[in-house]
Amino acid sequence: MIQDLKRLIEQVSRDKGIEREVLISTLEEAMRSAARKKFGHDLDLEVAYNDEFGEIEAFQFKEVVAEVEDPVLEISLEEGRKLDPDCEVGDSLGIKLDTDTFGRIAAQSAKQVIIQKMKDAEREMIYEDYKDRRGEIINGIVQRLDKGGITVNLGRAEAVIPYREQVPRETYRRGDRIRALVLEVSREARGPQIILSRTHPDFLMKLFTLEVPEIAEGIVTIMGATREPGSRAKIAVTSKDPDIDPVGACVGMKGSRVQSVVQELRGEKIDIIEYNPDPAKFVCNGLAPAVISKVVIDQANRLMEVIVPDDQLSLAIGKRGQNVRLASKLTEWRIDVKSESKYQKSLKEVYDSLLSLPGVGDATADNLYEAGFSSAEELAGGLVEELVAIPGISQQKAVKFLDAAKEYLSLIHI
């Protein structure tokens, strides 16, 4: 059935990259399956590869008995002694089967098991090869394009870039070279499922790692990245070495390094930002290239009110709010951008709300403002003890101001 088995095992092992032991166990199982198909499933069978002779040997074991009741599992003492003159009742005799007698159907079954097992072993090897490559950038060739996504030929394996992981407006044709991030590797019944992405922020970070030696060496660290794929991205970097400018290292001579990344991302605009542990400074950096006048921090709500010159407002917000949206994702702070004129107007409105309260003049309003009560609304939430500590405010005035502020609040919320 199988000639030159030893040579065949060596050749398949070499060509398919499957371990010799895996092939041998596959062949043994195939022969076991073929023997059972030929002789039935009840027989006591042992199959083993004989490396010396380069063949698969099959032995059927039968118990020596005085009277045979089951010819599949038993042999008479008389018949047993023809095979082994020293055997006794109760012994187990191994009878070598002629594998050539298994027949064409059994041989075909063995072949199918071998092919299936080879496929399984190959799939397992592909899974083992790729399961630890999550987060790596990989090169491939576009093989197919359909509703499921782009099928990419990686050589020994196939991968898919689903529609959700494709950059809008990027187009490919069959045979095009493509680079992407290994996003996920999972075991599936039909073989390993390798999912690739060109939209993930990690793809951007890995591209910079490949282009910037200082990042690969650990001198410059990427602190975070966010993208609106195909349009714009922001990446925050910092340096362990004070003599190395992290932004400059990522930009490269005449912009060579960042341009390589931009070209791979088909023109996606990239803002490289210096990370700062001070949240306010980091937010200001994140809104680059806009110039920031002032930042008001609301720590409790993780909100920053960012004030910019009037002529910088559209730049800070960006087209359809893109710049502020990306900066917010990168810094993990909610950002509210206001122009200076709008901010001054809102300040005047809240300051005027203090002046509108009975008994509050300019001097008292200034004192309240400096104490942190910038509006009638904030004053309504104050305590008598807090107000008494402010110069010029007695216990009686404090109660009067608080009552007036609460009444003002109830009127504006009607």
pLDDT of the residue at 306? 93
Output the pTM of the full model: 0.69
Looking at residue 22, its amino acid is V
Tell how far CA 309 is from the center of its chain. 40
pLDDT of the residue at 103? 52
Model confidence at 203: pLDDT above 50: yes
The beta strand positions in 154-231, using DSSP E, are 158-161, 177-186, 193-197, 220-228
289 prior amide bond cis, ω within 30:
yes
Closest CA to 176 of 163, 186, 161: 161
Average pLDDT over residues 93-112: 70
**Choice between 194 and 348, residue whose per-residue pLDDT is larger:** 194
Q: Which of 144-148, 203-207, 309-313 has the highest mean pLDDT?
A: 203-207
pLDDT of the residue at 135? 93
Task: Give the C-alpha separation, 95 to 347, whole Å.
Answer: 101
Closest CA to 291 of 248, 244, 323: 323
Partners of 48 in beta bridges: 57
pLDDT digits (tens, 9 = 90+) for 366-390: 778 777 777 777 777 788 888 888 8
Closest CA to 33 of 117, 124, 122: 117
Mean pLDDT, the chain, integer: 86
pLDDT digits (tens, 9 = 90+) for 7-23: 777 887 777 667 788 77
Model confidence at 281: pLDDT above 50: yes
Average pLDDT over residues 51-65: 84
Task: Give the C-alpha separation, 288 to 232, whole Å.
Answer: 13
- 3-state SS of the chain: helix, strand, coil percent to 5? 45, 25, 30
pLDDT of the residue at 44? 85
**Percent over 70 (pLDDT), the chain:** 94
Going by pLDDT thresholds of 50, 70 and 90, the confidence category of residue 149 is very high
Spatial CB neighbours of 385, under 8 Å, sequence gap ≥ 6: none
Lowest-confidence region among 60-74, 106-120, 156-170, 267-281 = 106-120
Tokens representing 401 are: 């101001």
Alpha helices in 299-339 (DSSP H): 313-317, 322-331
Average pLDDT over residues 278-302: 91
pLDDT of the residue at 105? 60
Alpha helices in 65-169 (DSSP H): 77-83, 103-131
Average pLDDT over residues 115-141: 87
pLDDT of the residue at 412? 66
Going by pLDDT thresholds of 50, 70 and 90, the confidence category of residue 107 is low
Burial class (CB within 10 angstroms; exposed 0-12, middle 13-18, buried 19+) of 40:
exposed
**Choice between 175 and 413, residue whose per-residue pLDDT is larger:** 175
Average pLDDT over residues 53-81: 86
Dihedral sign of CA atoms 34, 36, 37, 39 in order: positive
pLDDT of the residue at 2? 46
pLDDT of the residue at 1? 43
Going by pLDDT thresholds of 50, 70 and 90, the confidence category of residue 349 is confident
Q: Which of 87-91, 166-170, 269-273 has the highest mean pLDDT?
A: 269-273
Average pLDDT over residues 42-47: 83
Average pLDDT over residues 216-241: 96
Average pLDDT over residues 229-239: 96
